[in-house]
């Protein structure tokens, strides 16, 4: 089996592969104050809960957008699994043609998700991740990574609105009954939810205009279920791309543990 994991801004996701099949995922909130021993205990509990033994895994690969946690989590998994996981970074063979000005600046999560998407879908592709940040990765008809768009995520925007103003309260990020709010709460909900919907639809239209053709649009992330159904564009939902990409990259780089 292969363990693939991603350290995001809010959580750590682990995926379990048996061959090419993703047979389970778990996640835990990240905390920079936790030690590698604490994380090793947490991961051991998650494996036990899913009926998996550490000895079942022959390899592990991860990506991280939180540098301060990269080694902590890697060390925790090394203690648990008995071997050192591979971390996606500079020098890792991905098979992805990256056309950005400096490919080394591209986040490992975006690289992995692009590789995963290309293993399932036919380009051109627009990959949207609605997490702490809202990212749009663009792959041309040949599967090359053209570039991306980075905007504040739904939660981040809502928190900035409440925290940066004296009179506006914190509010539930649920779909309002109508666009034009008649009270403060509804007005903020409309701006947050429908504003994000308009941003997605507008960015998709602009991106397709630049590449000169329609693209397959795929969304993932914690806020995708609240936003995607309200969009005018046809957007597929798929939360497996990043883990699938890590699995594909592992196959390109690593041999089975002896």
Exposed/middle/buried for residue 229 (C-beta within 10 Å: 0-12, 13-18, 19+): exposed
The answer to whether the bond into 210 is cis (omega within 30° of 0) is no
In degrees and rounded to multiples of 5, residue 217 shows phi and psi of -110, 125
CA angle 19, 255, 44 (to 5 degrees): 60
Is 109 one of the annotated active-site residues of the chain?
A: yes
Structure tokens at 189: 């909900």
Query: Collapsing DSSP states into helix, strand and coil, what is residue 109?
Result: helix
Which single residue is written with the structure tokens 């080394």? 104
Cα–Cα distance for residue pair 215/219, rounded to 1 Å: 13
Catalytic residue among 37, 101, 109, 223, which?
109
Active site residues: 109
């Amino acid at each position: 089996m292969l363990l693939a994991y991603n350290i995001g801004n809010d959580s750590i996701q682990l995926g379990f592969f048996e061959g090419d099949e993703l047979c389970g995922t778990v996640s835990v909130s990240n905390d920079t104050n936790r030690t590698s021993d604490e994380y090793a205990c947490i991961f051991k509990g998650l494996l036990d809960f899913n009926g998996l033994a550490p000895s079942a895994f022959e390899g592990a690969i991860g990506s991280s957008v939180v540098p301060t946690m990269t080694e902590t989590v890697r060390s925790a998994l090394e203690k648990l699994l008995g071997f050192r996981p591979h971390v996606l970074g500079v020098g890792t063979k991905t098979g992805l043609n990256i056309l950005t000005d400096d490919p080394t600046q591209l986040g490992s999560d975006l690289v992995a998700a692009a590789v995963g998407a290309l293993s399932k879908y036919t380009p051109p592709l627009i990959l949207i991740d609605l997490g702490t940040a809202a990212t749009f990765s663009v792959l041309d008809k040949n599967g090359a990574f053209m570039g991306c768009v980075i905007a504040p995520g739904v939660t981040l925007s809502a928190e900035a609105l409440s925290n940066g103003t004296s009179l506006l309260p914190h509010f539930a990020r649920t779909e309002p009954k109508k666009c034009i709010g008649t009270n403060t709460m509804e007005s903020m909900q409309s701006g947050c939810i429908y504003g994000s919907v308009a941003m997605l639809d507008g960015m998709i239209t602009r991106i397709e205009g630049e590449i000169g053709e329609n693209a397959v649009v795929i969304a993932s992330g914690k806020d995708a279920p609240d936003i995607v159904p309200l969009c005018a564009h046809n957007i597929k939902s798929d939360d497996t791309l990043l883990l699938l990409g890590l699995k594909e990259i592992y196959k390109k780089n690593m041999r089975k543990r002896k």
